[in-house]
């Protein structure tokens, strides 16, 4: 114990105050009334973290069913490209055979991979994806309500919630790639990078501003509902539907529409899955602008300028370096890592390493600690070494050795992440004298067996109000000439409680 939360910083957990702003009209007028009723279904004896874990387990079940029914994340072959006289006109021309025509490298997937090339996954599978993701969103939303309902709110809940969300980010992306018929392709990789970046930026923003900010159109609300819609439509139409051109679906294809046929230039009938990815890229762009702007506003007014953003932006280096390493590794061994089902354990390692990055950042936020340096990310170092070796060829000298390297990295990733979860949850539970997945019943003060928790002792000693000496910790409040604390502009924007 004490590895991730040193004794010198443990008392800073007492300063934790949850703050969030949700500008979503969908959340306010549609989902929140539903969530307020849904939380009443769960007994007060059920711990909020158990509700969160229940939601994540549904996504895991969805992913396991994906492994069995559609390990190539695609159905059959892509349509004939326009250059060959067909109607398929994607944003970028295909550069490799469709993934479903390629063989599997795992005996436990080989049979299913070969069948997937000729037989589509059952349509009901995607409806289970829709139900699982919607249930996850709902359970993820009510865990905080359950915590306030049972009086168990605290930093452990935020850490647990963000950890589950980080894992769901990768798993959900793979499920969506399957529904959109992206297959084992660079589009799937681009989706994974963009989805992780979106989540990491929100966490990075929360670290600097002290508030979780959800815009009028956000990933956790409208984004998830959009993907639920994709899963539902796929259940009716099949994944191959998303290869259909948007103009064809709208009845505006140049072959049938006089206006588009009369234009002197080629009108691209962009496939629906490409349209979805372009729309997601636009959303990512606005999130980048919004998060950067909010971090800028959170800086002390006296030193607020463009140059002052350099330090916060450089703190994105660990995530960027890890992403670059994983993409480089894929690029070096594309035929094996991306074009076969070896991509699935590779993506799982990527997702676990990403979740570990996020958890280190959230822990720094909870303990008011400096931003975690790159050397504190062991899985980043492991990824960089594996990527470098993929080019040099010291260990990965054959396809079999590449497979072994991926599996070893996945195993080490599970061990490192599990160790983090065990240590940090144990430390926080010991400090507050609570359980993680159950609500601990403690005798009332003065009753036999009653004793104050270390957190209560520290609070009684005034350590909750002790100043923080770390100069590298973001400040979301400024002090005027009279010594009175005033929230910064970002703070004024973000004091609305969820």
Burial of 309 (0-12, 13-18, 19+ CB in 10 A): middle
Given the residues 98, 114, 162, 419, select the one marked as catalytic: 162
Q: What is the CA radius of gyration of the chain?
A: 24
Write a three-state SS string for the chain.
Answer: CCCCCCHHHHHHHHHCCCCEEECCHHHHHHHHHHHHHHHHHCCCCECHHHHHHHHHHHHHHHHHHHHHHCCCCCCCCCCCEHHHCCCECCCCCCCCCCHHHCCCCCHHHHHHHHHHCCCCCCCHHHHHHHHHHHHHHHHHHHHHHHHHHHCCCCHHHHHHHHHHHHHHHHHHHHHHHHHCCCCCCHHHHHHHHHHHHHHHHHHHHHHHHCCEEECCCCHHHHHHHHHHHHHHHHHHHCHHHHHCEHHHHCCCCCCCCHHHHHCCCCCCCCEHHHHHHHHHHHHHHHHHHHHHHHHHHHCCHHHCCHHHHHHHHHCCHHHHHHHHHHHHHHHHCHHHHCCCCCHHHHHHHHHHHHHHHHHHHHHHHHCCCCCCCHHHCHHHHHHHHHHHHHHHCCCCCCHHHHHHHHHHHHHHHHHHHHHHHHHHHHHHHHHHCCCCCECCCCCCCCCCCCCCCHHHHHHHCCHHHCCCCCCCCCCCEEECCCCCEEECHHHHHCCCCC
Instruction: Compute the distance between CA of residue 323 and CA of residue 379 in angstroms, rounded to an integer.
Output: 11
The closest of 350, 11, 29, 50 to 200, measured between CA atoms, is 350
- For residue 162, indicate whether it is catalytic: yes
Burial of 394 (0-12, 13-18, 19+ CB in 10 A): exposed
List of residues 6+ apart from 271 with CB closer than 8 A = 88, 89, 90, 242, 243, 244, 245, 246
- Bridge-partner residues for 20, per DSSP? 212
Beta strands at 212-214 and 20-22: parallel, antiparallel or unpaired: parallel
- Bridge-partner residues for 271, per DSSP? 245
Residues serving a catalytic function are: 162
């Amino acid at each position: 114990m004490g590895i991730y939360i040193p004794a010198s910083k443990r008392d800073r957990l007492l300063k934790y105050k949850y703050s969030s702003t949700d500008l979503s009209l969908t959340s306010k007028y549609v989902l929140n009334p539903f969530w307020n009723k849904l939380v009443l279904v769960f007994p007060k004896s059920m711990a909020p973290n158990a509700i969160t874990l229940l939601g994540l387990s549904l996504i895991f079940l969805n992913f396991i069913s994906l492994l069995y029914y559609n390990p190539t994340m695609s159905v059959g072959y892509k349509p004939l490209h326009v250059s060959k006289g067909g109607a398929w006109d994607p944003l970028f021309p295909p550069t490799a055979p469709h993934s479903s025509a390629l063989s599997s490298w795992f005996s436990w997937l080989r049979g299913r991979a070969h069948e997937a090339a000729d037989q589509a996954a059952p349509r009901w599978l995607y409806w289970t994806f829709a139900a699982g993701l919607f249930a996850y969103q709902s359970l993820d939303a009510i865990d905080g309500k359950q915590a306030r309902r049972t009086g168990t709110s605290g930093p452990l809940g935020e850490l647990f919630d963000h950890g589950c969300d980080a894992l769901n980010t990768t798993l959900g992306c793979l499920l969506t790639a399957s529904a959109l018929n992206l297959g084992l392709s660079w589009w799937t990789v681009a989706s994974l990078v963009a989805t992780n970046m979106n989540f990491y930026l929100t966490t990075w923003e929360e670290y600097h501003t002290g508030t979780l900010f959800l815009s009028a159109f956000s990933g956790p609300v409208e984004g998830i509902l959009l993907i639920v819609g994709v899963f539902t439509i796929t259940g009716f139409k099949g994944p191959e539907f998303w290869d259909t051109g948007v103009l064809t679906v709208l009845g505006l294809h140049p072959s049938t529409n006089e206006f588009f046929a009369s234009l002197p230039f080629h009108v691209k009938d962009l496939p629906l899955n490409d349209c979805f990815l372009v729309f997601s890229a636009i959303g990512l762009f606005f999130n980048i602008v919004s998060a950067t702007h909010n971090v800028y506003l959170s800086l002390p007014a006296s030193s607020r300028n463009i140059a002052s953003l350099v330090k916060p932006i450089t703190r994105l280096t660990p995530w960027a370096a890890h992403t670059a390493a994983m993409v480089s590794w894929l690029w070096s061994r594309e035929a094996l890592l991306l074009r076969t089902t070896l991509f699935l354990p590779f993506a799982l390692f990527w997702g676990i390493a990403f979740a570990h990055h996020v958890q280190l950042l959230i822990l720094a936020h909870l303990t008011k600690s400096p931003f975690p340096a790159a050397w504190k990310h062991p899985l980043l170092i492991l990824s960089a070494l594996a990527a470098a070796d993929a080019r040099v060829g010291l260990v990965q000298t054959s396809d079999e050795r590449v497979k072994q390297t991926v599996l070893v990295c996945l195993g080490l990733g599970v061990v490192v992440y599990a160790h983090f979860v065990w240590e940090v949850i144990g430390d926080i539970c010991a400090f507050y004298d609570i359980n993680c997945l159950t609500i601990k019943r403690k005798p009332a003060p003065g009753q036999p067996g009653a004793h104050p928790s270390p957190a209560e002792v520290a609070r009684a000693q005034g350590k909750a109000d002790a100043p923080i000496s770390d100069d590298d910790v973001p400040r979301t409040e400024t002090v005027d000439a009279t010594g009175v604390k005033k929230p910064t502009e970002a703070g004024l924007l973000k004091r609305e409680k969820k």
